[in-house]
């Protein structure tokens, strides 16, 4: 009996299949968001919520605004803060979905904007001379980079610094340091020191624009700052057309940090985005003009799954470096994939030999729906179905398609779940469920034409069998046989692991 069961289980493994369409390009964007979206004014800050909505701060004429874009790229005005002769700057989101925005230079401060657009300035933030960028720690303390202190009107500039705002508290100066201070005014009428800011594992990381540095500042147990240090001197970008430009030094703007501590930095003077490895601090270029539609990149934000980067363009290069042969994209929002991502859409097929014979093939077609927020639907049809499940359930007369979803967990990796049924018609008009198959596992793209599905198949009985030919006595444990799912505590009559390679179907022309 055991040998019969093992043979049948080997056959079962071949029923499971995963095949996905591959659109390999480093600039493929996911979830339907356009690669580039122009804005009515000049954007600066950007933030992304867990649902995939993107928030952008924009200077439109003389008004400071915050726009909200859906995961498919549809924009709506969230808040208009009114006229200002200052500068709109960075954005951040708290756990309740409130948006925080910096205003700098004139009418300075940090403003909270609710999901419904109500706006209020946080107390004490009017003292921040040049509020630039924002980040939260795990306690929802908000940290604000101050590009310079002092007075713009008199050009009496002081050191750059960091302010902190405890949750529901008043803003207070946290640190000023020479490492957060810019150089004497050159390209701008003021020094550009502390700029992009991010929090990771108890430390703040701050970009010093003029000096091309990423500064790390520990947050001590009592909440005070530790010793600021140079974490990375950002290198020039050989891939950039502006590499080693004598006119522009390596100038930084915004930064963001992924869940592994890697730091992404916008190099506005090189039209490039680089990633600094958290382990060895090596530098890698992940986006650069003209491969990516960058035009003076300012702020950065990763989506929840960290495979897509959103970037605001200041759109200033047309004024500095006119290029009629390849016009600059101008101000707007850039969306770019960080890896050679796979877009799981299309109709696919697979064939695998049956272990019991070595010749007969189990064929299937599979439709993968559009990916939205990392989730795609799956419909898999077995072309030569065996409703009896290889003779184990001879009273089953129909096998259903397998339905399910898979959820993107990282670059070219997914978790998936599929469910299918063997049924038998009865006089009531409702088919009896004879067996239920559930597959759960992970799918990984190994190259542009191959996906490896590694998972587990579980088989449940939909009825009692006092003397099953393979499994002996089977008791139907499903208390609600019409819901179509096993009970939470129901044990499968068997389960087994598998690893199955699948291949992309060639285009038929």
Q: Give a three-class secondary structure readout of 143-162.
A: EEEECCEEECCCCEEECCEE
Report CA-CA distances (Å) from 108 to 71, 269, 289. Answer: 31, 26, 33
pLDDT tens digits, residue range 42-95?
999 999 999 899 999 999 988 899 999 998 889 999 999 887 767 789 999 999
Q: What percent of the chain has pLDDT over 90?
A: 52
Does this model's pTM top 0.85?
no
Range picked from 33-47, 323-337, 425-439 for highest mean pLDDT = 33-47
pLDDT of residue 406: 84
Three state DSSP letters for 56-83? EEEEECCEEEEEEECCCCCEEEEEEEEE
Mean pLDDT of the 487-503 span:
80
Which among 380, 273, 394 has a CA at the least distance from the CA of 334?
273
Quickly state the pLDDT bin for 476 (edges 50, 70, 90).
low
Mention every residue, 6+ apart, whose C-beta is less than 8 A from residue 444. 412, 413, 414, 451, 452, 454
Q: Is the CATH code 2.120.10.30 the one for domain 36-337?
A: yes
pLDDT of residue 408: 78
- Beta-carbon-side half-sphere exposure of residue 405 (alpha carbons within 13 Å): 10
The answer on pLDDT for 160 being more than 80 is: yes
Q: How far apart are CA 503 and CA 191, in angstroms?
A: 56
Structure-model confidence comparison of residues 226 and 368, the more confident one = 226
Task: Show me where the domains of the chain are located.
Answer: 2-23+342-503, 36-337
pLDDT of residue 16: 30
Q: How far apart are CA 46 and CA 51, in angstroms?
A: 15
pLDDT tens digits, residue range 326-340?
889 999 999 998 876
- Beta-carbon-side half-sphere exposure of residue 322 (alpha carbons within 13 Å): 2
pLDDT of residue 293: 94
Report CA-CA distances (Å) from 345 to 32, 124, 149, 341, 378. Answer: 12, 51, 52, 12, 10
Q: CA angle 307-312-314, nearest 5°?
A: 155
Quickly state the pLDDT bin for 25 (edges 50, 70, 90).
very low
pLDDT of residue 287: 95
Which among 52, 56, 53, 76 has a CA at the least distance from the CA of 66?
56
> Is the link from the previous residue into 290 a cis peptide, with omega within 30 of 0?
yes
Report CA-CA distances (Å) from 445 to 218, 368, 439. Answer: 38, 15, 18
pLDDT of residue 270: 96
Mean pLDDT of the 375-382 span:
88
The answer on pLDDT for 504 being more than 70 is: yes
pLDDT of residue 508: 59
Quickly state the pLDDT bin for 464 (edges 50, 70, 90).
confident
Quickly state the pLDDT bin for 12 (edges 50, 70, 90).
very low
pLDDT tens digits, residue range 189-212?
889 999 999 999 999 999 999 999
pLDDT of residue 228: 98
Q: How far apart are CA 273 and CA 294, in angstroms?
A: 9
pLDDT of residue 234: 98
pLDDT of residue 7: 33
pLDDT of residue 90: 95
Quickly state the pLDDT bin for 4 (edges 50, 70, 90).
very low
Q: How far apart are CA 74 and CA 56, in angstroms?
A: 12
The answer on pLDDT for 466 being more than 70 is: yes
Looking at every residue in the chain, the average pLDDT score rounds to 84
Mean pLDDT of the 120-131 span:
94
Q: Tokens 């200077």 map to which residue?
A: 59
Which among 250, 281, 274 has a CA at the least distance from the CA of 338?
274
Token output for 444: 């990984």
pLDDT tens digits, residue range 387-419?
988 888 888 999 999 999 988 777 778 899 999
The answer on pLDDT for 432 being more than 90 is: no
Quickly state the pLDDT bin for 495 (edges 50, 70, 90).
confident
pLDDT of residue 448: 65
Q: How far apart are CA 174 and CA 297, in angstroms?
A: 28
């Amino acid at each position: 009996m055991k040998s019969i069961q093992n043979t049948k289980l080997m056959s079962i493994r071949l029923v499971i299949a995963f095949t996905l369409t591959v659109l390999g390009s480093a600039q493929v964007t996911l979830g339907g968001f356009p690669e580039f979206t122009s804005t009515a004014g000049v954007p600066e800050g950007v933030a992304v919520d867990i649902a995939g909505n993107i928030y952008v701060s924009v200077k439109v004429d003389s008004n400071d605004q915050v726009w909200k874009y859906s995961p498919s790229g549809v924009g709506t005005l969230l808040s208009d803060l009114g006229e200002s002769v200052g500068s709109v700057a960075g954005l951040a989101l708290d756990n309740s979905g409130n948006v925080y925005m910096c205003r700098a230079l004139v009418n300075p401060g940090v403003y909270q904007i609710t999901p419904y657009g109500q706006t209020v300035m946080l107390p004490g933030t009017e003292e921040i001379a040049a509020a630039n960028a924002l980040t939260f720690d795990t306690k929802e303390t908000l940290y604000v980079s101050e590009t310079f202190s002092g007075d713009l009107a008199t050009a009496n500039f002081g050191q750059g610094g960091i302010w902190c705002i405890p949750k529901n508290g008043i803003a207070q100066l946290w640190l000023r340091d020479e490492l957060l201070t810019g150089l004497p005014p050159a390209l701008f009428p003021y020094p550009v020191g502390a700029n992009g800011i991010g929090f990771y594992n108890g430390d703040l990381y701050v970009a010093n624009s003029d000096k091309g540095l990423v500064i790390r500042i520990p947050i001590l147990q009592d909440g005070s700052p530790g010793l600021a240090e140079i974490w990375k001197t950002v290198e020039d970008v050989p891939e950039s057309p502006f590499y080693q430009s004598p006119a522009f030094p390596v100038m930084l703007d915004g930064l963001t940090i992924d869940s592994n501590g890697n730091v992404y930095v916008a190099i506005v003077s090189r039209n490039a985005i680089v990633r600094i490895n958290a382990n060895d601090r090596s530098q890698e270029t992940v986006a650069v003009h003209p491969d990516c539609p960058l035009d003076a990149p300012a702020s950065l934000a990763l989506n929840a799954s960290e495979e897509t980067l959103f970037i605001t363009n200041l759109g200033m290069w047309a004024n500095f470096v006119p290029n009629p042969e390849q016009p600059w994209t101008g101000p707007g929002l850039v969306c770019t994939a960080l890896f050679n991502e796979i877009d799981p859409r299309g109709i696919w097929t697979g064939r695998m030999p049956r272990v019991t014979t070595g010749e007969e093939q189990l064929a299937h077609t599979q439709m993968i729906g559009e990916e939205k927020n990392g989730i795609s639907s799956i419909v898999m049809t077995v072309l030569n179905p065996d409703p009896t499940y290889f003779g184990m359930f001879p009273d089953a007369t129909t096998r259903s398609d397998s339905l399910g979803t898979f959820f993107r967990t990282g670059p070219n990796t997914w978790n998936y779940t599929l469910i299918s049924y063997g049924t038998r018609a009865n006089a009531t008009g409702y088919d009896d469920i004879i067996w239920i198959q559930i597959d759960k596992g992970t799918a990984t793209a190994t190259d542009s034409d191959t996906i490896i599905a590694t998972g587990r198949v579980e088989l449940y009985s939909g009825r009692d069998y006092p003397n099953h030919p393979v499994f002996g006595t089977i008791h139907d444990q499903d208390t609600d046989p019409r819901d179509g799912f096993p009970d939470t505590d129901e044990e499968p009559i068997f389960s087994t692991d598998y690893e199955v390679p699948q291949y992309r179907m060639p285009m038929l022309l």
